[in-house]
Chains A and B, each alone.
Chain A
Amino acid sequence: MAIRNSLSGQLLRRTSAVAEARFMSSWFRSIEPAPKDPILGVTEAFLADQSPNKVNVGVGAYRDDNGKPVVLECVREAERRIAGSQFMEYLPIGGSVKMVEESLKLAYGENSEFIKDKRIGAVQALSGTGACRLFAAFQHRFHPNSQIYIPVPTWANHHNIWRDAGVPMKTFRYYHPESRGLDFSGLMEDIKNAPDGSFFLLHACAHNPTGVDPSEEQWREISSLIKVKGHFPFFDMAYQGFASGDPARDAKAIRIFLEDGHLIGLAQSYAKNMGLYGQRVGCLSVLCEDEKQAVAVKSQLQLLARPMYSNPPVHGALIVSTVLGDPELKNLWLKEVKVMADRIIGMRATLRENLEKLGSPLPWQHITNQVSS
């Protein structure tokens, strides 16, 4: 074809000219090498290690007792059902409606009045990270002078997310090193001292990285105080089902806040509890005063998502909606999630036992105290 011949002919001419052509100095001279990601960099290092004894206790990805990744049976079955389907057309910007519906039921309750009243503005998101980032961008756009209060410590990427979204961060006390538990009075004091109407990031269950969760009583008090202060509670729930083995139980903190009348924001992830890590599937929801507001909020979330990635990936969403939408598969999932959670709970007990058996003089009960309730 004429076009091909003439352009590739010119290409040859250019290529030989390159030898003589000056290479202008790089545009990217001033770009420094970035440091390795503190969490994902651990896996990189682990993969490079040659030792047969190596153990990767870095990234939060579930392994079976042989250290192998696990794909849940309910997920495999869902994949068999959806394989070769026509569903590759763009999802709407807000993602799979079915998957979002199922996610809301899981988090807010099957018979939640908020779902019935259509008061929740929700979109499919790129797993937990994407949900947090979308909310941070939303917060920045509509409350440009606000900050986010994050616990000390928290998942490292929370810092990156709110920073890149342009939202300044403040901290509140959380972990108590001496007891390896919760610094409850410090936490309450910091909630109290924050200016009224601040934004607070809370881990709904299985706090990452400490594994220390408030008790139900403590959650109720936190909820009351946050209510009095008029703060906005944003929950990051990356481990529903994974903490206790029971998704309803793991959503307890959220349910307490809802009962108390809070209007919450929530990031959900299926990376761990459905083992869909690499599929990047999650959900961002914002509970509003009424349906009209929920529709407006959703439309604005979509406006933020469109220039980030246009619309979210379908594959993981299809898996989630297939699993959660089919009673048989959902039951299978509940069983499998319990197996994973139980293995970890058992591992905690075994680790603690072994440390104590080895005669360690240090206290190790925090290992089983953390995330066991």
Chain B
Amino acid sequence: MASSSVLSVATQCVSRNASSLSINETHKGKAKLGGSTLRFSKSSGRISMTVAVNVSRFEAIPMAPPDPILGVSEAFRADTSDAKLNLGVGAYRTEELQPYVLNVVKKAENLMLERGDNKEYLPIEGLAAFNKATAELLLGADNPAIKEQRVATVQGLSGTGSLRLGAALIERYFPGAKVLISAPTWGNHKNIFNDARVPWSEYRYYDPRTVGLDFEGMIEDIKAAPEGTFVLLHGCAHNPTGIDPTPEQWEKIADVIQQKNHIPFFDVAYQGFASGSLDEDAASVRLFVACGMEVLVAQSYSKNLGLYAERIGAMNVISSSSESATRVKSQLKRLARPMYSNPPVHGAKIVANVVGTPALFDEWKAEMEMMAGRIKNVRQKLYDSISSKDKSGKDWSFILKQIGMFSYTGLNKNQSDNMTNKWHVYMTKDGRISLAGLSLAKCEYLADAIIDSFHNVS
């Protein structure tokens, strides 16, 4: 059969000395190999797919596990129960549990549509108007660091992409440096530093006994780290716990980091969403900068402007001189170019329009307060529901003390599974619930689920 001669000659060729191969016919579908003529017809091409030569290079590739956070939404979608509740990913929902597109965003998009902006490549560092707006939003327009041009800002792919740029900068220019991350922290932090090949270890953060901050443990671990360690801090609304240091505690943390010559690396994904005030939520970052420290800050507009899928954020490096900022920015660009060349324009323009248009900016602040306000109300209602239903005397006040979208319920993995399997409440296995996905109407149901899981499952 013609095809089997194709097979046998082909396998011989692979092991034969390569220099004896020559193809000197240009006829369509024919080739001479060391004297014998092979025919490559379409049908033999199909049959020969089963030959060793066409075995996939990726045969040994195992199936990856679903993402622990984003996988929750997938599971939720597959659930057919009417009672189902998605408290997995941190995406804001209205009281009707619908996604929310901010009014200012719709207005900004309409402006952009009317103007008929083109879709040309942004520079590698992103949209200049966005970079200016985002640094000013973070630090305050009159911040000396900005006035002295000591801030290097590069538009990034939301929080993740900005963190990844920072991680890549650390790997390339601080060889051997480690990152200290909180225990617990957002799941993807570890993936980012792993894939960027930056070693990390944890500092104590969550205290399960108090369902609060293990402040002494945190300070001890930061002190114990070798000089020049990068310390990853959540600017506000710690994810997943919802537990933030107090202003006094922030001062002490800043002192220790400064004494040990560490470098603070802030992840600011919820500016405005924690307290409702954009300025207030940036206080921790501004404190560190005012101390005179050099700081890395990753920002995201996924939550506070609802621009999740547009992937808009920034990597900021505040350094001690404008000259140094210029150099750092150039190297951040050099890291970005082989990742994605230049960042997506759409989200950047929305942010620049909203922040840069006074009327829209004011309206945004109001919408921000409304969203943060809804979450505060839901916290209150949940707390009230649980306290009135639970007769065990357990202290649930942590629900009110925690801040931002998330609450660390203290439920363990089995209990979290029970939430899902019995009650169709979707959450992450670490006991984190996203209050942004909770409505006042569902608080009673959730209270029942939490009480049941906490008391009846170990």
List A residues at the B interface (Cβ < 8 Å): 1, 3-4, 6-8, 10-11, 14-15, 18, 21-34, 37, 40, 43-44, 59, 61, 69-71, 75-76, 79-80, 83-93, 126-127, 129-130, 133, 137, 142-143, 157, 160-161, 163-165, 188, 192-193, 196-197, 217, 220-221, 224-225, 227-230, 232, 259-263, 271, 275-280, 286, 288-289, 293, 295-297, 299-300, 302-304, 306-316
Contact = CB atoms under 8 A, between A and B. Distances in A.
B310 A88 contact: yes
Contacts of A276: 119
A307 B195 contact: yes
A95 to B, nearest CB: 10
Given A71-B116, A308-B160, 13 more contacts: A34-B333, A40-B342, A71-B118, A129-B337, A160-B338, A164-B338, A192-B18, A224-B40, A228-B10, A230-B53, A302-B67, A306-B67, A308-B157
Contact of A157 (B64, B308, B333, B337): B337
B247 interface: yes
B58 A217 contact: no
Contacts of A26: 294, 319-321, 324
Contact of A71 (B26, B119, B157): B119
A140 to B, nearest CB: 11
Given A142-B61, A228-B14, A261 B247 contact: no
A37 B291 contact: no
B264 to A, nearest CB: 11
20 contacts: A4-B277, A7-B287, A11-B290, A18-B144, A22-B292, A27-B294, A31-B328, A37-B334, A83-B113, A88-B105, A90-B302, A127-B341, A220-B28, A221-B23, A227-B10, A279-B345, A296-B61, A297-B58, A300-B61, A310-B188
Contacts of B342: 40, 278, 280
A228 B20 CA distance: 13
Contacts, number: 332
A24 B58 contact: no
Contacts of A89: 91, 99, 308-309
B133 to A, nearest CB: 18
A188 B320 contact: no
A34 B45 CA distance: 49
A211 B110 CA distance: 39
B343 interface: yes
Contacts of A160: 337-338
Contact of B113 (A80, A163, A311): A80
Interface centre among A71, A161, A310, by most chain B C-beta atoms within 10 angstroms, is A310
Contacts of B63: 295-296, 299
B120 A87 contact: no
B309 A311 contact: yes
A34 B330 contact: yes
Interface in B142-191: 144, 157-161, 164, 173-174, 188, 191
B346 A277 contact: no
Given A86-B99, A129-B339, A278-B344, A314 B309 contact: yes
B250 interface: yes
Contacts of A6: 247-248
Given A27-B263, A230-B53, A33 B330 contact: yes
A43 to B, nearest CB: 8
Contacts of A197: 57
Contacts of B246: 3
A33 B324 CA distance: 9
A29 B292 CA distance: 16
A89 B158 CA distance: 13
A261 B101 CA distance: 47
B161 A90 contact: no
B330 to A, nearest CB: 4
Given A295-B63, A309-B161, A263 B346 contact: no
Given A11-B283, A221-B23, A224-B40, A307 B106 contact: no
